[in-house]
Amino acid sequence: AAAAAMYVGVSFADVAKGLAEFRGAGRRFEKKGEVNGITLVDDYAHHPTELTATLKAAMDMPFRKVWAVFQPFTFSRTSMLLDEFAQALSIPDHAVLTDIMGSREKNTFHIFTRQLGEKIPGAVWFPQDESDPETTDARKYENFDQVTNYICDHAQPGDLVITLGCGDVNKVNKMILEELTRRQNTK
């Protein structure tokens, strides 16, 4: 980056200043906040290769548990790469799955998040016994409010919660941050 900038006439001082101010690309392991010891990160990963790299990196960090909140994007991709998604999502300690964001597609593939959750080794699928949340590694919820409440009820200090996907799952990250803050302020 520095060589390319200097090649087109940017001074070394300006290159150094720009690099010093660079905080990383948005939605690439972007830290969104920390509340009560729970770290919230957002990432655009929406392909199994990206998920694998991101989740392996997260698991190598010194967090107590890693919670991956994943929103599959497009029915065709989810259908074609179902096994690869399941393998990637078996990396974190917990996988929470939202509905598939179809975007421009109709679900002519007859694929549902449940089918992905069933392929994650050791997963117990919805409906589940809510009295024992530790028996479930993967969960699917109908809306972001349910995902938010589940994460806020179960994540603990020292945990990492990472939202993953190219759809609007980053909204869940904001909702979790707001709800954790609200809960902390009402203690």
Q: pLDDT over 70 for what percent of the chain? A: 88
Res. 25: pLDDT tops 70: yes
Q: How far apart (Å, rounded) are the C-alpha atoms in residues 67 and 162? A: 6
Question: What's the sign of the alpha-carbon dihedral 60, 87, 41, 141?
Answer: negative
Res. 140: pLDDT tops 60: no
Res. 138: pLDDT tops 70: no
Q: How far apart (Å, rounded) are the C-alpha atoms in residues 148 and 150? A: 5
- Please report where in the chains the tokens 């203690």 appear, as a residue: 187
Q: Which domains does the chain have, with CATH numbers?
A: 25-185 (3.90.190.20)
* Contact by Cβ (8 Å): 111, 140: no
Determine the pLDDT at residue 132: 36
Three-class DSSP labels, 80-96: HCHHHHHHHHCCCCEEE
